[in-house]
Structure 1
Amino acid sequence: MDLKLIVLGLLIQGPAHGYELRQRLQRDLYPFLAASAAPLYYALRKLEEEGLVTHWSETKGRRPQRYVYRITEKGKRHLQQALLKGLKRLQRPPFDLDVTLYFLDLLDRGEVVEALKERLKELRKLRFLLKRQRENLPEHHEGAEEIILEHNRRMVETEIQFVKDLIGTFSDDRRGSSHRAG
């Protein structure tokens, strides 16, 4: 996740103070990332150092002083270029599961099948949650959330099919040999 890119994307919608940005991250992008305050403020400082955002301070009533951030023209150009680059870039996503798959022969086949069944159960829960999130989108949403949820749903569907296939493979292997490799 490139938090700086996300911040630029939020700021192109208009100036905002840090707390407001954090609220928007949590409200609008919650299903897709975990946002905390520390990395957000670090990203804002870095963006300012790079000349991509500026800030000014304001005080409203008796509230404490706060900084309001605005994207610069340079920031707008950078955002446009980064978004286009992101669409073109093909990068294999890292999967922690791949390391486990590499060493599967070290495990008992029965344990592998049981663990895969648990994974399948969790994937089905995730698929259900994604479906619910999509159904609960407000009617006036701008479409980005729906596109992202559909992307995630398809990734989960693919993973479900892959795990089902693995269960079949290891169930067949287990009939022939249930020993622990190694």
Structure 2
Amino acid sequence: MMSKNEIAILGLLSESPMHGYQIHQEITRREMDYWAKIKLASIYTTLTRLEEGGLIKSEKEKVGNTPERTVYSITEKGRSGLSDMVEYFLREDDRPEWPFGLGVAFIQGAPRERVLAALHHRREKLTQCDLDLHDHLIKLKEQIPFNWFLLIENAHKHMKLELEWLDQLTAQVQAEPHWGLAWPPELKLKHQKAHEASTRALSTKAA
């Protein structure tokens, strides 16, 4: 299976032949290093691997007095591979890493004031990101292909939901009467009973 870097580069080359620096610029301009975690440092390694696999080809180009450069283009084999990977990624139910989720799961392990400060900091960053996405939508409407526009719109909608949810979490942290306890007394008792029942059921099944 291809890596994210490989499908990103094949996708860009399916739009137009490019040299390495152009690919770097496009990935940066479309912020694919951020939302798709495309590794800029390994672009040339990926190009070499794709060319060795026959998915792309290269030729030298010299324009005027500029230094000679290598221009890459996608092959028919590359287009076929790209088609397969597009279908795979659209179907795939991925589960991205979510370190923030771990922070929320064990949120009672930190002092309330530090948690609130961290959540406030996160909200400021997300708010700025939300504003940036909104500006992108206004600026790029009817200027980019529909799929790229909808990709930005999807991120914008998710960001708004994230901000609403973050406000709910912050309110709960502020109001929680048993701060510092992973399990409030009434819930801890229920949890223990459920755990004991599960243990007995497993023991009975094993016997």
Assess same fold via TM > 0.5.
Answer: yes
Q: Does 1:151 align with 2:149?
A: no
1:9 equivalent in structure 2: 11
Deviation of 1:5 after TM superposition, in Å, equals 0.8
TM norm structure 1: 0.85
Within the candidate set 125, 128, 146, 1:125 is matched to: 128
Say yes or no: does 1:48 pair with 2:57. no
The higher radius of gyration belongs to: 2
Instruction: Check the 8 A contact 1:124/1:160 in 2, yes or no.
Output: yes
Distance (whole Å) between structure 2 residues aligned to residue 133 and residue 97 of structure 1: 26
What's the RMSD between the two structures over aligned residues? 2.2
From the superposition, tell whether residues 165 and 60 of structure 1 become closer, same or farther in structure 2 (CA, over 3 Å): same
Larger RCO of the pair (alpha carbons < 8 Å, separation 6+): 1
The TM-score, its normalising length taken from structure 2, stands at 0.76
Could you list the runs of 5+ residues in structure 1 that have no partner in the other structure? none
Q: Output the amino acid matched with 1:108.
A: P
**Aligned residue in 1 for 2:114:** 111
Structure 2 residue runs without a partner (length 5+): 183-207
Distance 2:20 2:148 in 1: 22
> Does 100-109 or 36-45 show the bigger shift?
36-45
* Percent identity between the two aligned chains: 26
Per-residue CA deviations over 1:37-80 (Å, capped at 9, x if unaligned) read: 63211111111122111112122333222111111111000000
Instruction: Report the equivalent of 1:33.
Output: 33
- With over 3 angstroms needed to count, the CA separation of the structure-2 counterparts of 1:61 and 1:157, relative to structure 1, is same
- 1:54 aligns to what SS in structure 2? strand
* Structure with the higher fraction of residues in helix conformation: 2
Distance 2:26 2:119 in 1: 36
Separation (CA, whole Å) in 2 of partners of 1:116 and 1:85: 36
Letter in 2 for 1:95: W
Residue pair 2:13, 2:72 contacting (<8 A) in 1 also: yes
Structure 1 runs of 4+ aligned residues shifted over 6 Å read none
Q: Is the 8 A contact 2:130 2:160 kept in 1?
A: yes
Q: What is the number of equivalent residue pairs in this alignment? A: 177
1:137 aligns with 2:140: yes
Deviation by residue 1:119-154 (Cα, 9 ceiling, x = unmatched): 223222211111011111163322233211111112
